[in-house]
Copies of this chain bind each other. A is one copy, B any other.
Amino acid sequence: MGEKDISQAVIARLPRYFRYLGELKDEGVERISSQELSTLMQVTASQIRQDFNNFGGFGQQGYGYNVEYLYQEIGKILGLDKEHQLIVVGAGNLGTALCNYANFKRRGFYFAGVFDQNPDLIGKKVGNLFVKPMEEMEDFVKNNTIDIAVLCIPKTSAVNVADKLVKCGVKAFWNFAHCDLNVPKGIVVENVHLSDSLIKLSYNLNENR
């Protein structure tokens, strides 16, 4: 399907399609035209068709898309037909919030362990897990099949922790630390830089005045 060549801009839009299709499915909608989807999602119908053409199109023009089929197919493209095991590093408020987010489990993301270096947090219950000390992190990752590490730690320790985790076989990082990780080729990083996001909001707010 040539998915390797698909731009990150298109990839970044897929979860939103998936979200809207999931809602339509839950509402019992069976079929939707690109025009209706366009109105609902406030993107052009041409954008939708172009995005979907990257994956073979999914449906006939004029006839519309089968919501359930499209939902399943986009889910497969996004890897959501597989299960992923995650660990969370950093059991502060943000790490706790992520562990408690029920929606992730529904999508096949299982939080298998949560680690912190703060002795006061060790043993604390977070979601359905108990916080373990950092010293146990590497053995835990080696002994369980951990795909993804979620970094909710300060930037001063994030790069070092990521290095260790790569050596233990972690293939992907969901990075909330306020720095860029310097990982080897083939390791995937998705950054959530909250400060950058708030600053972008500030720009648009000031431009709008």
A202 / chain B contacts, CB cutoff of 8 Å:
78-80, 82, 84, 109
Q: Which residue of B lies closest to A209 (CB)?
A: B171
| Interface contact A197-B174, CB-CB below 8 Å | yes
A16 / chain B contacts, CB cutoff of 8 Å:
193, 196
Chain A, residues 164-198, CB within 8 Å of chain B (1/0): the string is 00000001101000101000001010101111111
| Interface contact B104-A93, CB-CB below 8 Å | no
Complex Cα gap A190–B196 (Å):
11
Is the CB of A15 closer than 8 A to any CB of chain B?
yes
A148 / chain B contacts, CB cutoff of 8 Å:
201, 205
Oligomer copy total? 2
Shortest beta-carbon distance from A192 to chain B in Å? 6
Number of interface residues of A (CB under 8 A): 56
Complex Cα gap A206–B208 (Å):
40
Q: Which of B104, B109, B190, B205 contacts A171 (CB 8 A)?
A: B205
| Interface contact B200-A15, CB-CB below 8 Å | yes
Q: Which of B4, B15, B94 contacts A195 (CB 8 A)?
A: B15
Q: Which of B93, B180, B188 contacts A205 (CB 8 A)?
A: B188
Complex Cα gap A200–B196 (Å):
19
CB-CB under 8 A for A98 and B207, given A15-B200, A174-B201, A178-B103: no
Given contacts A11-B204, A78-B203, 16 further A-B contacts (CB under 8 A): A4-B207, A12-B196, A78-B199, A79-B205, A84-B202, A92-B97, A93-B93, A93-B94, A93-B96, A93-B97, A96-B97, A97-B97, A107-B199, A147-B205, A172-B205, A188-B208
